[in-house]
Amino acid sequence: DKRRSGFLIPNAKYGSNNGFEFMLPYYWNIAPNYDATITPHYMSKRGLQWQTEFRYLVQPGLGLMEFDWLPDDKEYGKDNDDSKRWLFYWNHNGVMDQVWRFNVDYTKVSDYKYFTDLDSKYGSTTDGYATQKFSLGYANENWNATLSSKQFQIFDNTDRTWSQTYKVQPQLDLNYYKNDLGPFDFHIYGQAAKFTSVNPYSPDATRLHMEPTLSLPLTNGWASLNTEAKVMATHYQQDIPDGFAANYAMRNQVSAADAPNLDNSVNR
């Protein structure tokens, strides 16, 4: 059946958080590979929210974007100077030339109480955070590599939670496979990652990890057995700021002398 633009089934409900709610979605068939759903969402306690979902299918991949906009939240504005609330979500999965891969999983909201006050299928307060991840990968016959960036928007605004939040920018993952080395199969995995704290007084770190594996698969007509030997080696290199001890003492109400004495590097 051919898709047609038009209004979809409306929805209404009542709750103590938002009062009376009414939603009237409109489906817009833009093109064979593009469409959008625009939903005016009225909440008697908060105002009118606009929800816009856009889907696309193009040669580099397919994806979905959502932008929700509440220009003046009357309930939220009672305790906050800025009453504008919004959500942006983007999910993309793409493959080019059968070897390149590009993926996005990105969610960002206007404030940490957004999912407490407003319902959304793109997040909830029980998650505790929103993920913002980008990755670019290349895969060949016996090896692949992925370069990624990941950070989080935390829904707890306490100083302790904020000070313990890290982002991974960048992270490089490598895999190499070589089968039929005589009776053996060989695989080696490596990773290099840079961890950066959102708190300038907390340590940053670089992690290097190597994991070679040698396996011996044995099969016959009625059974199979796979024997595997693996070695894992990890190295951490820390960048400890000068004010770390004093900041730790202030947050944990201890003397600076009792703050952890961290080495610059750790091996395991």
Question: Per-residue pLDDT averaged across 133-162, rounded?
Answer: 88
pLDDT above 90 (res 244): no
Tell me if 114 sits within 8 A of 135, measured CB to CB.
no
For the segment 161-195, what is each residue's pLDDT rounded down to a tens digit?
Answer: 555 688 999 999 999 999 989 999 999 999 999 99
- According to the model, what pLDDT value does residue 107 have? 97
CA distance 55 to 134: 19
pLDDT, residue 156, reads 79
What digits encode the pLDDT tens for the residues 62-112?
999 999 999 999 999 999 999 999 999 999 999 999 999 999 999 999 999
Q: Region 3-7: what's the mean pLDDT?
A: 93
Residue that wins the pLDDT comparison between 115 and 157: 115
> SS3 string of 17-42?
CCEEEEECCEEEEEECCEEEEEEEEE
Q: Can you give the residue ranges of every domain in the chain?
A: 1-135, 158-268
Intra-chain end-to-end CA distance of the chain, in Å: 60
Q: Which two tokens stand for residue 159?
A: 């100083």
- pLDDT reported for residue 221: 80
28-37, 134-143, 220-229: lowest mean pLDDT where?
A: 220-229
Please write the tens of the pLDDT for every residue from 16-75: 999 999 999 999 999 999 999 999 999 999 999 999 999 999 998 999 999 999 999 999
Give the tokens for residue 114: 């957004």
CA distance 208 to 266: 11
At residue 247, the pLDDT reads: 61
Overall CATH class of domain 158-268 = mainly beta
